[in-house]
Structure 1
Amino acid sequence: MVSLPQQLSLGVNLNDDATFENFYAPAHTHNAMVVQGLRDQLTGSGEAFVYLWGAPGCGLTHLLQAACHEAQSQGLSVQYLPLRDMVGYAPDELFSGLDTLDLVCLDCLPSIAGRPDWERAIFNLYNQLREQGKRLLVAAEHSPRELALGLEDLRSRLQWGLTYQVHSLGDDDKQQALQMRARARGLELGDEVAQYIIQRLPRDTNELFWQLARLDHASLAEQRKLTIPFVKKVLAI
């Protein structure tokens, strides 16, 4: 990660759990193709500009941060920017120097839709990165055509590269994803307990994983296994 100007330092950090290996995408599924497309982007064998979109909770932020982790492991310079948290800043100043980086990831793109200064700044950043032979990864809840953008030139640019829709998981896949994440934490999460959690919590995978982290900490503190009574006590569900 590069250092933002001191006056713009917002404590932008990557989640250590956000890796491609931790993203539930079984082989030969659509989401597995998306992950491969992002890996190809980083190695230079794929498209340099990638646009991801999908419903809330489908894992867009996870994939952007996973791409950053992967890029860093390859010695590439990267910057992840959650635009939702940055709309109060001057975009031209925030973007200064980003065109020298190997990978720029812009999350929550709809947050700046309808803001002429931001739209123009992203349009200029796109062109600068393209001229420098760098990579851009963008995420939004809508496809480029559905974004409420005022600058049509920006919409056109966003459609130049690859566009992937990230598919949300069904309940069975969410159970598998939750159990996979539990194993990565060294937790044993049986089918019955996993089903209990999914049936009683919001289906958003971000929420499920956050609650799993709570269970992990409680299990470690109390030296307890993940049983339904323990889960019910910790999560009050």
Structure 2
Amino acid sequence: MTGRDAKSRQLPFDLPAPPAMSRDDFLGAPGNAAALALIDAFPDWTARVVCLVGPPGAGKSHLAAVFAAKAGALTLKAGDLARAEVPAALATGALVVEDLEPGTFDEAALFHLLNLAREQHAFVLLTMRTSPALWPLATADLASRLRALPKLELAVADDALLAAVLVKLFADRQIVVDDAIVQFLLRRMERTVEGAQALVQAIDRAALAAQRPVTRALVAQVLREEMPGPDGSAPREDDEE
């Protein structure tokens, strides 16, 4: 195999670009304005424990990362919260607990956390997909405590936000795309930030493998491969738009 042949058959390493999670990288929109204002106002909060509620990809983890950086907070997944480790988790005076949902956490550990945070005047940010008012909890005191917490909801991303997210995700990978490609993607992609992240990663991988720029034809190819119809067929593409 010649050097040229070897080069043409190189496969790119699938090394996803780390998401940019700073405050400057967060894209504000009407659906997340209240939650963003709360994070920006830290430490001037009227309540020390707050819930961020919203669907996957709405920006809860990004805002939690911004809060953690500002507050020096530790971050735990809900399933990793253990009663014996609560004091250590609050050692910095601030904590993020992510992905709280019914059945994903130890109720006794969370109740202990809320009590100790109140005693120590610690800040706690809880992220979740659904409001705790809907959760079937076995611990009545915990259910009451969670219902009383302030809750800031993040809405599903709209077209304007998704367009900005796409531009940012491509820019994170040093790829410049024109508005026509962004609009082409918006009409066909999964309507979440997570969907945008997966799609941009797939487009970048395809462009590297083909050693081609990101064009509409390449994007259409990736969409056919990544978003098959319910019967396994490729989605229809209107190339004449």
1:12-69 residue CA offsets vs partner (Å, 9 max, x unmatched) = xxx652233323214xx2412211102223x34553211011223322222222322x
Secondary structure of the corresponding residue to residue 176 of structure 1: helix
The residue that corresponds to 1:108 in the other structure is 99
Within 1, Cα distance between the matches of 2:59 and 2:133? Answer: 21
Q: Is the 8 A contact 2:31 2:157 kept in 1?
A: no
Within 2, Cα distance between the matches of 1:223 and 1:46? Answer: 53
Matching residue's letter, 2:72: S
Output the TM-score relative to the length of structure 2.
0.73
Deviation at 1:170, TM superposition (A): 1.9
1:101-131 residue CA offsets vs partner (Å, 9 max, x unmatched) = 2321111111536x6xx11111111111121
Q: Is the 8 A contact 1:20 1:35 kept in 2?
A: no
Aligned runs of 1:1-80 on 2, under 5 Å? 16-26=19-29, 29-41=30-42, 43-68=43-68, 70-71=69-70, 76-80=71-75
Deviation at 1:80, TM superposition (A): 1.4
* 1:225–1:135 CA distance, 2 compared to 1 (3 A): same
Q: Is the 8 A contact 1:188 1:225 kept in 2?
A: no
> What percentage of aligned pairs have identical amino acids?
23
Within 2, Cα distance between the matches of 1:215 and 1:111? Answer: 36
Within 1, Cα distance between the matches of 2:61 and 2:137? Answer: 21
- Unmatched runs of 5 consecutive residues or more in structure 2: 1-17, 227-241
Structure of larger gyration radius? 2
1:69-111 residue CA offsets vs partner (Å, 9 max, x unmatched) = x32xxxx432211225x4xxx7224434112223211111115
Matching residue's letter, 1:25: G
Within 1, Cα distance between the matches of 2:22 and 2:72? Answer: 17
Q: Is the 8 A contact 1:103 1:135 kept in 2?
A: yes
Output the TM-score relative to the length of structure 1.
0.74
Within 2, Cα distance between the matches of 1:181 and 1:120? Answer: 40
Deviation at 1:174, TM superposition (A): 1.3
Give the RMSD, CA atoms, in angstroms.
2.7
